[in-house]
Structure 1
Amino acid sequence: MTFSEDEIERYARHLVLADVGGPGQQRLKAARVLIVGMGGVGGPAALYLAAAGVGTLGLVDDDTVSLSNLQRQIQFDTGDVDRSKVGVSARRLTALNPHVEVRTYAERLSRETAQARVVGWDLVIDGTDDFETRMAVNAACVASRVPLVSGALGAWSGQVAVFEGRPCYRCLVPDIPPDAETCARVGVVGALAGLIGSLAALEAIKRLTGAGDPLTGRLWIHDALSGQSRTVRIAADPACPVCG
């Protein structure tokens, strides 16, 4: 796989970077990444993956842009309100890097549809904000043997994990919490979304290029109020209905 003169200049800082270089950049160019949820986590992740030169990006979201999104979803601006999130995002990513192919799916994944959508992708990033979709995406990734990068936001906390086989997301969250908090109900500090989305993109880049030690089977948790972070290992649940 060769690079044009534009690509060589565009990716110059990757091409001289230890653990990426030409071979790693070629792997990025050949990669296909599906991003489920084009909100606070998926938006920054998509921007950084497009900038990094991931060859094909798939964007999944059935929602439209609202004014309240703009406090944290930096891929949109005021003129995008009421427009399709995946449509606006596709134009933004193509403007950022015309070498990236962007495919859009204006739909909400469910237990019945996730499997067909996930098949054929090299990696999936889940930035959704509801547990039903997260569990559907996780089950589809386990069944299709597709690595999953999961990013989530709380009011002042965020977390990122990488799942590949066992343990899976269902080992971490066996059941949907009955009192699950939402951004609309408890709020979320906007800049935190950029942090978690960027880390999700970074973990995807590490996994795709073979650089470093991805967070596979581990959960990184950040408390923005205290500025403290910790990483915990996720135990595989032998009774897990998805990967057990």
Structure 2
Amino acid sequence: METMNNTPPQPPESAAGYRALVVDDERPLVAVVTSYLEQASFEVAGAYNGHDALARAREIDPDVVVLDLGLPGIDGIEVCRQLRTFSDAYVVMLTARSAEMDTIIGLSVGADDYVTKPFSPRELVARIRAMLRRPRKEPAYETPPPRPGGEEVKPRSFGALRIDVEGREVSLGEHPVMLTRTEFDVLAALSARPGMVFSRRQLIAAVWGETWVGNEHLVDVHVGHLRRKLGDDPAAPRYVTTIRGIGYRMGTGQ
């Protein structure tokens, strides 16, 4: 990780008004990440264990949480799981291990991204800024414009699958499907252009933003979670089809 003597530059665009919560039992690391985020105009709070992290999250309602996987007591996985019951903050998981299973578990409970220690605070801040550029009210993926006369945009239907983009709700038949924000955004991006093959890079641009940096296979993990929640068999997909060597395509649902 970069040293504290390396002062981060003032970013070209302000992040004023955004709140960040940094959670790690290594106090020097919390201090460094806090310094970089404050230089980027974030309001920052810190916590050093899982109990305090959840309490602080309820108190300040952060826009983004930087969360260590290996916390003492309540670990980062459980913190993220509980956080998702009351917050839609973006979560960046920090892990000292690069094992694929750590990544999959972290993302499966609602983390949006992960960073392996040691890491560059500058890169971390860049990822956070890219995530926050994902609009909350006007998604980066293509949404049909309002119809004349104020008529509501109809939900997208693929067989039994119904996607209400404006209401951010998904259902299979009569049953609601609970998706994380990122899973919903991936599904919305794919369903905006049925039949079109999206590369991983195109999905990253639509969901994470053009400036996102990191492993593009992050898309595969979120698509895998999405498929499981939709009951979609990759060997005989109804909704999300893998196009080998290219990416993914939204099917008809039949």
TM category, shorter: 0.3 to 0.5
When you count helix as a share of all residues, which structure comes out higher? Answer: 1
TM-score, normalization by structure 2? 0.38
Q: Considering only CA atoms, is the larger Rg found in Structure 1 or Structure 2?
A: 2
TM-score between both structures, scaled by the size of structure 1: 0.40
Which structure would you say has the larger RCO, counting Cα contacts within 8 Å and 6 or more residues apart?
Answer: 1
